[in-house]
A and B are shown apart, each in its own frame.
Chain A
Amino acid sequence: VRCQHYPPLRALQASAVLRRVSDEHKKEPFTSSSQQQFDPHPAGHQPEQEPQGPRSSSTGQGGQESEDYESEEQLQRRILTAALEFVPEHGWTAEAIAEGAKTLGLSIAAAGMFHSDGSELILHFVSECNTKLSELLEKEQKLVQLGKAEKKPTDEFLRDAVEARLRMLIPYIEKWPQALSVLLLPRNIPSSLSLLTSMIDDIWHYAGDQSTDFNWYTRRAVLTGIYNTTELVMLQDSSPDFEDTWRFLESRVADAMTMSSAASQVQSTGEAVVQGLMGAAVTVSSAESSRAKT
């Protein structure tokens, strides 16, 4: 029977996989540091060294006794990012996640941390795409502010933003219908809806929308409609480089623009109608009174 003394405090326990946070900045997949000295394991023992590049042999082991370990959530995100590369082959499934875990040097059983229908993988992907879109729009805005680029008219801006975002789906387009159906599961709707609304918000924000009135809601609703319908068209599009989809997008955005001007026209027409009715009412009542007089 081995006599081992494990420290009571969990914080001192060496983690087999969670790396030090500082190492993430070095963009290395593993640190090759040794296990805690309490328990010298016979196999796979690495002396303390500088973090190296990816090791060809066995899996990542041991962490330093330092304080800043990455959290479980960060590790999960790393696994999901690694899993994306296997989605075209395996779909949005636990198998893709297992393959992703394998590339990080973890056991394929690590996929058990996630739901077996791949929800977390899809949500992670959507959130990553939204982040990328925000960065893209931020960069463009900076260029405009520095005077290096022209400010685009709203319809062109919206078109480009939606196209950029939808293009991120292209590598996964075959399996995307599966992803959409999973996103619509009741369990996932709160998260998927909030991701969608925040993305639409972002686009309008960078489009220069300063409204604080009812228009804010209308604009969001309209753009959400445009985005969703274009996405569905894209799923069935077989034209080269999805030309049909972008043309569809163009006409939808154009519609939205005319609709907004039509809306203001309708409003003025409405006012005119109301005035007409008022006028008619006044005329009728004065006619009555004049008839009554005579």
Chain B
Amino acid sequence: MAAVLLWRGRARALLSRVRGAPRALRGLAAGPEMHFGFQSVTEEERREKIYQVFENVAKKYDVMNDSMTLGIHRVWKDILVHKMNPSPGTLLLDVAGGTGDIAFRFINYVRAARERQLQRKLKHHQNLSWQEIFENYQEDKFNSLGSSQVVVCDINREMLKVGKQKAQHLGYSEGLSWVLGNAEELPFDDDKFDVYTIAFGIRNVTRIDLALQEAYRVLKPGGRFLCLEFSHVSNPLLSRLYDLYSFQVIPVLGEVIAGDWKSYQYLVESIRQFPPQEELKAMIEDAGFFKVDYENLNFGIVAIHSGFKL
């Protein structure tokens, strides 16, 4: 307990020092010094360290998410997919999608939408000839998703492994692919995807501007960029409670459940280092997106940023 309090004091000091630090430390400039939580490291080191973090937490990632956010992360992800409102035929790229949460929700949503679409079509066509009915059944059999697809891309092999296992376990097979790739340099052609999502991943990208540019590149014209990420709470009372919870409880949970204090300390520190809502909005606009907007969830603990490639 004493150790935690001592550490807390240190965190406060670091916090105030870092807050005053120039913008370069927020990982935007091309300078060699970057932040890893509250430490100062080079770009390469940062990538290394982050890879390590997720390699370590991969197996317990979902359990930790549930315990840290008291299960609310599920609601956040549901809201993200509802906001996306994908129609059947959408091609989704889920970057840093590791364990597949967004991908599975997308598949469920599109499946339901497809069923509604088919029911409406049937109601519409009351007087079909036998030939037409036959044709309808032919295409429906192979099209329960309406040719929608999701590509899950992650830089970390362990996270992808966990994701694939989950997919198998839950029975998701159709319309799902797993690709190893770096958000700063995506292994895809231009103008390919309808929607690009990055849920709780952009914080861990070393060069956010590059990731945004890549997102712009791989999206089709008219395509949508969606980013779900921890953000800044403006309400002062809530902010204090949130800080308290983050720095006191989460690393302890990390140690108890996942046996890894440091990774979860990195997590909460990285949240504090991440640009606030307006700044991220400006960055997204700089990458070329239009109609950029954000929606705060839970008073700013989490925010969904949205932009269109127009």
| A and B are interacting partners | yes
Chain A positions within 8 Å of B, measured between CB atoms, are 1-2, 4, 6, 8, 10, 13-18, 41-44, 58-61, 72, 75, 89-90, 94-95, 98, 101, 104-113, 116
Is A109 a contact partner of B86 (Cβ separation < 8 A)? yes
Is A107 a contact partner of B190 (Cβ separation < 8 A)? no
Complex contacts, B219 vs chain A, CB 8 Å: 107
Is A10 a contact partner of B286 (Cβ separation < 8 A)? yes
Known A6-B286, A41-B190, A107-B224; judge A16-B306 contact (CB<8 A): no
Is A1 a contact partner of B184 (Cβ separation < 8 A)? yes
Number of A-B residue pairs, CB cutoff 8 Å, is 105
| Dominant SS among interface residues on chain B | mixed
The residue from A16, A59, A95, A106 contacting B117, defined by CB atoms under 8 A apart: A95
CB distance from A64 to the nearest CB of B (A): 15
Is B124 a contact partner of A89 (Cβ separation < 8 A)? yes
Is B221 a contact partner of A72 (Cβ separation < 8 A)? no
Query: 6 nearest interchain CB pairs?
Result: A106-B222, A110-B222, A107-B222, A107-B220, A109-B224, A16-B221
B295 contacts the other chain (Cβ, under 8 Å)?
no
Complex contacts, A112 vs chain B, CB 8 Å: 83-85, 224, 306, 308
Complex contacts, A1 vs chain B, CB 8 Å: 184-185, 207, 210
18 A-B pairs (CB sep. < 8 Å)? A4-B213, A6-B286, A6-B287, A15-B288, A18-B310, A41-B190, A43-B190, A44-B190, A95-B117, A98-B87, A104-B222, A105-B221, A107-B221, A108-B222, A109-B90, A110-B308, A111-B85, A112-B306
Is A111 a contact partner of B87 (Cβ separation < 8 A)? yes
Within 8 A of A (CB), among B168-207: 184-185, 189-191, 193-195, 207
Complex contacts, A6 vs chain B, CB 8 Å: 213, 286-288
The residue from A41, A95, A106, A113 contacting B221, defined by CB atoms under 8 A apart: A106
Is B191 a contact partner of A44 (Cβ separation < 8 A)? yes
Bound-state Cα–Cα, A101 to B207, Å:
32
Complex contacts, A109 vs chain B, CB 8 Å: 84, 86, 90, 194-195, 220, 222-224, 308
B266 contacts the other chain (Cβ, under 8 Å)?
no
The residue from A18, A59, A90, A116 contacting B220, defined by CB atoms under 8 A apart: A59
B89 contacts the other chain (Cβ, under 8 Å)?
yes
B217 contacts the other chain (Cβ, under 8 Å)?
yes
Complex contacts, A111 vs chain B, CB 8 Å: 85, 87
Complex contacts, A42 vs chain B, CB 8 Å: 189-190
Bound-state Cα–Cα, A13 to B307, Å:
15
CB distance from B8 to the nearest CB of A (A): 38
B290 contacts the other chain (Cβ, under 8 Å)?
yes
Q: Which residue of A lies closest to B30 (CB)?
A: A3
B45 contacts the other chain (Cβ, under 8 Å)?
no
The residue from B195, B286, B310 contacting A17, defined by CB atoms under 8 A apart: B310
CB distance from B34 to the nearest CB of A (A): 14
Bound-state Cα–Cα, A105 to B287, Å:
22
| Dominant SS among interface residues on chain A | loop
Is B310 a contact partner of A72 (Cβ separation < 8 A)? yes
Is A17 a contact partner of B217 (Cβ separation < 8 A)? no
Is B224 a contact partner of A58 (Cβ separation < 8 A)? no
Bound-state Cα–Cα, A43 to B224, Å:
20
Complex contacts, A72 vs chain B, CB 8 Å: 290-291, 310
A18, A43, A110 pick with most chain B CB within 10 angstroms: A110
Known A1-B184, A106-B221, A109-B222; judge A95-B87 contact (CB<8 A): yes
CB distance from B74 to the nearest CB of A (A): 21
Known A10-B286, A94-B85, A112-B84; judge A101-B191 contact (CB<8 A): no
Is B221 a contact partner of A59 (Cβ separation < 8 A)? yes
CB distance from A66 to the nearest CB of B (A): 16
Bound-state Cα–Cα, A1 to B183, Å:
11
Bound-state Cα–Cα, A111 to B113, Å:
15
Complex contacts, B217 vs chain A, CB 8 Å: 41
B87, B117, B224 pick with most chain A CB within 10 angstroms: B87
Bound-state Cα–Cα, A98 to B90, Å:
10
Bound-state Cα–Cα, A140 to B224, Å:
46
Complex contacts, B223 vs chain A, CB 8 Å: 107, 109-110
Complex contacts, A18 vs chain B, CB 8 Å: 290, 310
Within 8 A of A (CB), among B210-230: 210, 213, 217, 219-224
Known A2-B185, A15-B310, A98-B87; judge A110-B224 contact (CB<8 A): yes
B309 contacts the other chain (Cβ, under 8 Å)?
yes
Is A108 a contact partner of B285 (Cβ separation < 8 A)? no
Is B87 a contact partner of A16 (Cβ separation < 8 A)? no
